[in-house]
Structure 1
Amino acid sequence: MSRSDLHYLEAGELARLIAAREISPVEVTSAMLERIERLDTTLHSYAHVMREEALVAARKAERKLLAGEHLGPLHGVPVAVKDLYWSAGSPTAAGTTIHRSFVPSEDATAVKRLRDAGAILLGKLQLTEGAFATHHPEIAEPVNPWHAGHWAGASSSGSGVATAAGLCYAALGTDTGGSIRFPSAANGLTGIKPTWGRVSRHGVFALGPSLDHAGPMARSAADATLLLGAIAGHDPLDPTSLPEPKLALPESAHDLQGLKVGIDPQWNNNGTDEVIVRALAQVVEVVTSLGGRVEEVRFPEVRTVVDEWQINCGVEVAVAHAETYPRLSADYGPALTRLIEIGRETSGTQYQQVLLNRAALRGKINHLMARIDLLIVPVQPFAAPTHEQLGALAQDPELNARLIQFSAPFNSSGHPAITLPCGLTASGMPIGFQFVAAHGAEALLCRAGIAFQNATDWHRRHPAL
C-alpha cells in the first residue's frame, strides 16, 4: 500500500492490515510523523510530538507481531491524546503556561489502557487553557483543516484537528460542556461523551470534576467504539469510576429495529440555524429507514441549568486551581481567570441551589430516557461558526448559554452521547448531531452510530489538504 493512501484509513481497518502484516507499525508511524512535520506547522494541532518515543513503541509493536504476540485491538495504530492526559516522561501542560514544564512520572489510566491495547502514542494535542473556552494568549490556536476562518471547537480542538487532518488515526478528548462534541461536529468527526465515570479520570487535569467526561474522537463510529472499549472500565485509582470492569460493545450494526427514538422539535429548533434544522430532518429520515420508531417528546426545561453551568464549573475549577491561583494569576489568560473568579465569588447557598437544580434536571432526563431508547439533539445552534462569531464567547454569558444549550445539560446530568456528522453547509463546513441515551447505554449509542454510518457517508468526507 502506498504511503499516500494511509492517513485517512480507519483505525480498525489499519489494525487489520497490521495484523495481516500487509503494513508494519514502523512504516505507518513513520508516515504519520512525516505528515505531522509537513502539515502541523500550519494546523498547530500538536502541543508536543513524541517522535522518538513513538518510533521506539512502533519497533516494539513490530517485533511482537513478528513473534506472534498480539498486543490488543489497536496493535500498531498511531493515536494521540489531549494534552491534559498525563503521559509518563513527556510534558503535559493542559493548554497552560504554568504547567509547561510538568512531566508526569506515570500515565493517565486511559493512556495506559491505550498502550495496553497496542496503540502507538504520537504525541499530545493542543487544547484551550485549562480546557475552558479559549486558548492561552501565548499559545497558537489549532486551525480547522476544513477552513482556517472557522472554529475548530473547544476545548479538544487539537484532538479534532489532528484526527480530521489525518495526523493521527484517533484521539482522546475531554468534555465538560461540549468539548468532545463541539470539535467533533466542527471537524466532521465522531465523538463519544460516555456516561460520567465510565472512563477513568485518574491522571487527567481537571476543569470541573463532576462535569468532566473523558472519551474518544475518531473518523467513524466503529473506531470510536474501538477506542471506548479499550479505555472504559472500573479503575481503583479513580474513586468516581463506575464499577463495571468492561464494556460489551458491538463490532457491527446495520439497523435500529425495535428502538424508540425521541425528538423535541420545539427545543431543537429554538434559535437554531435553518441548515441544522434541515440536517436533523434528514437524520430522522435515515433513522426511520433503519427501522427506528421516531416520536415527538418534550425535553425538560434546561435554561436554568445551562445558565448556571458557569457557576457550577467555576466553583469546581477554582478548587482545581487552588494551588496556582491566585498565586500565579498573572500567568493566566482572561477567559480562565474570569471563570475562576466566578467560582471564588459564588456563595455556598447559591452553589447549593445550582446543585439542586442540576439534580432535578438529571431526574427529569432519567424519566424521559426510561420511555425512549435514543434522543436526537443538535450539537450546537450555530452552523459552522466563524472566529468572529465566537470572539466574544468567554465574555458574553448569553452567547455562551446559546452555544452550550444542547451540550451542557448532558454534562450536568452525566448522560452519554455520541456525535456524528450529518451534512455540510453551503460553504462546505461539517454539521454534526447527537444521539443521547440512558446512563450506561454506551453500547446502544455505538450501535446507533455504526448503523447510521452504514447508511450514510458523511463520515467519509475529509478536508482538502
Structure 2
Amino acid sequence: MPAGLPFATITGLAAAYRRRELSPVEVTQAMLGRIEQLDPALRSFVTVTPEIALAQARKAEAEIARGAQRGPIHGVPIGLKDLCDTRGVRTTWGTMIQADRVPAADATVVAKLFDAGAIMLGKLKMTEGAFAAHHPAVAAPVNPWHADHWTGISSSGSGVAVAAGLCFGAIGSDTGGSIRLPSGANGVTGLKPTWGRVSRHGVRPLADSLDHLGPMTRSAGDAGVMFAVMAGPDPCDPTTLDAAVPDCLAHMDAGVRGLRIGIDPSWVHDGCLPETARVIGEARNVFAELGAAIIELAMPDRTRAMSEAWTQLCAAEAAVAHEAWFPARRSEYGKVLAGLLDKGRAVGGIEIARILQDRLVFAGELRTLFADVDLLLCPVHPFGNPTAPELLSILRQPGGGDAMLRYTAPFDMSGSPTITLPGGFDDRGMPVGFQLVGRHLDEALLVRAGHAFQRATDWHLRHPAL
C-alpha cells in the first residue's frame, strides 16, 4: 500500500486517478486488506462486501481509463451506515429484529453514490435502531485513538472507519447528534445537511421528522464532495426539498473574511469541561485571525427546552417506526431502545402538540438570529472525550442525557445544517470537536468555513497510531 494512502482525501484520490498514479482496483484491494488487518480489533464493519467492491472498482477503472470519469467520487471506496438499504446485502439497522433482512433495492442515497461511481466496501455498525446504545448481542466498535473511550452514537462504525483509514468517507445519520457525536469522538469531519436535503427513501428511521443523512469524512472539502452527490429532490421521498444543490467546491477557497460568526458565551460555557471550553476558545481565535467578525449574542431562551423536548418527540416517532415489532417482540430488543419505545407509547397527544408548536417557534427564532450572523459556533457536547465509565456516570446523573444533547438536538429540532470539525485534543490525547451551524440550505458556506479552518490548522490531519 502506498504510504499515506489510507488517509488520502477524496479529492486527492480523484486527482491521482486522473493522473493515472493510482487505480481504483489497487486502492480497493489495499483498503480491503487494511480492513482485514485492522477491523477485527476495531469492529467498525458489520458486513464487508469484497466481491461487490472489486466489481465496482473494475468497472470504475475501465471507465476512467477511457476518459469517462463520472465525478470526484468515481472509484472512491466508502462505507455505508447499516440503516441504508443495499440491494442483495443485509441491512440490520443495528437490531436483532432485522438481523437477516436483505433488501431488494438500494436506498436512494446509496443509488446516487453508486451512480456517481463510489465503491461500497461494506456496511458499518451502528447503535440499535440508531438510538443511544448498541444491542447487547452486538460487539460495539472501538475508538481507534484509545479503546477505553467512547465512539459516539449512533454512527459509531462510520466514525471509527473514517478515523482509522478503513474508508475514505461514510454515510452517517443524525437524529439527535449521530453524525456530530461520533465525528467529535473520533476526530473526523461530519456534515449534517438541512433536513430534507438528502432523501430518506430506503433508510430505516429512528424518528422521521428529525432524521438527517450526511457524509462523514476527513476534511470539509471531502464532506462537500459527498454531500453534493447525496443531496437533491427524490420523488420517492416527498419530504425532500426542491432546491438546487450547490457546488460546495466552487467557492471553497474564499475564506471567512467578513463573515459574521455568532457565539453565546453563557450557553457555550455553561457546564462545559475545560477541554471543551478550550477548543471553542481556540476555534474562536482562529476564525477571528482569519478575518471573521465574532459577534457575541444570546441564543433563544427556548434552546434548552428543545433538547429536553427532543427525547419525548423522538420517543413518540420511534414508537411509530417500530410498531410492527414492538412490543410484540420485546425480548429481541435491548433495554435502552425498548425503554425509549415504552416512553414513546406513553407520550400524550397534547404533550406532542405543545412540543411541535414550540419547535416551530424555535425555528423562527433561529431564522431571526441568522439575520445578524452567518454562522454559529458551539460545542458538540460539553464533556470532552469521555471514557465509557465516565460517560455512564454522566448519563446516570439527573438530566445527564439532556446535557449530552444540549448542543446537538436543538438543531435537529430546527432542521438546521451543521458541520463538525476536529478542533484539538484533550490532556489524554483524545480528539475534541466543535460545530458550526448555518442557515437552512447554506451547506456550501459551512464547507467553506470548515475548509478555511482546516487550512489554518492541522487537527484533521492527525490520525490514530494503529
Alignment match, 1:434 = 435
Structure 2 CA distance, aligned partners of 1:260 and 1:129? Answer: 39
Alignment match, 1:65 = 64
Q: What is the CA distance between 1:108 and its match in structure 2? A: 0.9
- For 2:166, the aligned partner's letter is L
Q: What is the CA distance between 1:394 and its match in structure 2? A: 6.7
Q: Is 1:276–1:378's contact at 8 Å kept on the other side of the alignment?
A: yes
RMSD across aligned C-alpha pairs, in angstroms?
1.2
Identical positions, percent = 49
- For 1:435, the aligned partner's letter is L
Alignment match, 2:137 = 138
Structure 2 CA distance, aligned partners of 1:377 and 1:462? Answer: 24
Q: Tell me the number of residue pairs that the alignment of Structure 1 and Structure 2 aligns.
A: 464
1:233-257 deviations in whole A, cap 9, x for unaligned?
1111111100014323234325212
Structure 1 CA distance, aligned partners of 2:118 and 2:375? Answer: 31
Alignment of 1:419 onto 2:420? yes
Q: What is the CA distance between 1:68 and its match in structure 2? A: 2.1
1:303-343 deviations in whole A, cap 9, x for unaligned?
22211111100000000111111121110001110111111
Structure 2 CA distance, aligned partners of 1:139 and 1:393? Answer: 23
Distance 1:397 1:74, change over 3 A: farther
Alignment match, 1:270 = 270
- For 2:356, the aligned partner's letter is L
Q: What is the CA distance between 1:71 and its match in structure 2? A: 2.3
Mapping for residues 236-385 of structure 1, pairs under 5 Å: 236-251=235-250, 252-301=252-301, 302-385=303-386
1:111-152 deviations in whole A, cap 9, x for unaligned?
111111111010100000000000000001000000000000
Structure 1 CA distance, aligned partners of 2:325 and 2:223? Answer: 35
Structure 2 CA distance, aligned partners of 1:291 and 1:192? Answer: 23
Q: What is the CA distance between 1:19 and its match in structure 2? A: 2.0
Mapping for residues 100-139 of structure 1, pairs under 5 Å: 100-139=99-138
Q: Comparing 279-288 with 164-173, which one deviates more in the overlay?
A: 279-288
Structure 1 CA distance, aligned partners of 2:50 and 2:3? Answer: 20
Distance 1:59 1:393, change over 3 A: farther
Structure 2 CA distance, aligned partners of 1:392 and 1:213? Answer: 29
Structure 1 CA distance, aligned partners of 2:19 and 2:107? Answer: 30
Q: Is 1:233–1:247's contact at 8 Å kept on the other side of the alignment?
A: no
Q: Is 1:335–1:395's contact at 8 Å kept on the other side of the alignment?
A: no
Distance 1:307 1:99, change over 3 A: same
The runs of 5 or more residues in structure 1 that have no matched partner are none
Alignment of 1:216 onto 2:215? yes
Structure 1 CA distance, aligned partners of 2:3 and 2:223? Answer: 24
- For 2:103, the aligned partner's letter is P
Which ranges of 4 or more aligned residues in structure 1 deviate by more than 3 Å? 392-397
Structure 1 CA distance, aligned partners of 2:284 and 2:351? Answer: 40
1:15-44 deviations in whole A, cap 9, x for unaligned?
111122111111000000010011100100
Alignment match, 1:27 = 26
Alignment match, 1:83 = 82
Structure 2 CA distance, aligned partners of 1:407 and 1:223? Answer: 22
Instruction: Give the TM-score normalised by the residue count of structure 1.
Output: 0.98
3-state secondary structure, aligned to 1:214: strand
Distance 1:392 1:353, change over 3 A: farther
Q: Is 2:375–2:438's contact at 8 Å kept on the other side of the alignment?
A: yes
1:371-399 deviations in whole A, cap 9, x for unaligned?
11011010000010110122267766611
Q: Comparing 110-119 with 379-388, which one deviates more in the overlay?
A: 110-119
1:144-182 deviations in whole A, cap 9, x for unaligned?
000000000000000000000000000010000000000
